Amino acid sequence: MHHLLRKQIVVLLIAIFFTSIVSNAQYKELNRPDHDDLPYYFGMTLAYNSSYLNASKNSKFIADDSIMSVQPGSSGGIALGLLATVKLNYCWEFRFNPQLIIGGAKYFTYDVNYPRREEKKILPSTIVSFPFQFKLNSDRLNNFRTYVLFGAKFDMDLASTSSARNAEDIVKLKKNDFALEAGIGFNFFMPFVTLSPELKFSYGLSNIHSRDPALKYSNVFDRIQSRMITLSIHLED
């Protein structure tokens, strides 16, 4: 509950910040008026993400009383990326935004019987992400424009082969993941660069659980799917 509340407060503060900037931007001189005529442009990305795992329990979990409960979780991570955008027409653009996501370790907290105790199993994560997205741009209002985006991404977890991820008493997750994405962003046209804050949601479709019936901590789960919320700052030429 507290985690959700923090997210709502952050989103609210961002919205207030954007509104104040837009109200001031309406009276400024038009920057880079020929930007919309570019057939393509490039940029870089700095992002913070908050991810979690959506897990469904296996029937063995109900029948076995050695594990009373289990809660998946994760820590936040940062991402660095490149940006390539191709203009399709006046409103639509196609974007490729490969990123390296560092941190964001996943973990599972178990309430275990015999003896009764709490155990946390941590899975370190370093992800190379390949998002492909379509952008729908609004009309430009002086030095401001908003857009929505949707697309898909393919992720590879480079830490999947690490020794920490292959311990005998830990949940095994697959290396590759596929997800759908949707988000909203804002373009602020500066004299020499376009600053683009963006909020994006990712919904994993793949079952990334590599189930091993011989492992007590693994056979609790049937399916595990990724979810992620990303706040990005793009710097575009």
pLDDT digits (tens, 9 = 90+) for 195-211: 999 999 999 999 988 87
Q: Which residue did the predictor score with more confidence, 133 or 66? A: 133
pLDDT digits (tens, 9 = 90+) for 32-67: 888 888 999 999 999 999 888 888 877 766 566 667
- Looking at residue 80, its pLDDT comes to 96
Mean pLDDT of 154-182: 78
- Dist CA 189 CA 77 (whole Å): 28
- Looking at residue 17, its pLDDT comes to 59
Give pTM, 2 decimals.
0.81
- Looking at residue 166, its pLDDT comes to 58
Residue 63 CB: number of other CB atoms within 10 A? Answer: 7
Q: Which residues contact 209 (CB under 8 A, 6 or more apart)?
A: 55, 171, 172, 173, 174, 218, 221, 222, 223, 224
Q: Which residue did the predictor score with more confidence, 27 or 199? A: 199
For residue 219, how many C-alpha atoms fall within 13 Å in the half-sphere facing its CB?
A: 14
- Looking at residue 45, its pLDDT comes to 97
- Looking at residue 126, its pLDDT comes to 87
Mean pLDDT of 188-195: 92
**Strands 126-137 and 144-157, bridge-based pairing:** antiparallel
SS (H, E, C) the chain: CHHHHHHHHHHHHHHHHHHHHHHHHCCCCCCCCCHHHCCEEEEEEEEEEEEEEEEEECHHHHHCCCEEEEEEEECCEEEEEEEEEEECCCCEEEEECCEEEEECCEEEEEEECCCCEEEEEEECCEEEEEEEEEEEECCCECCEEEEEEEEEEEEEEHHHHCHHHHCCCCCCECCEEEEEEEEEEEEEECCCCEEEEEEEEEEECCCCECCCCCCCCCCCEEEEEEEEEEEEEEEEC
Domain coordinates in residue numbering, the chain: 40-62+74-107+125-236
CATH topology of domain 40-62+74-107+125-236: Porin (2.40.160)
pLDDT band of 21, cuts 50, 70, 90: low
Percent of the residues in the chain that have a pLDDT greater than 90, as a whole number? 42
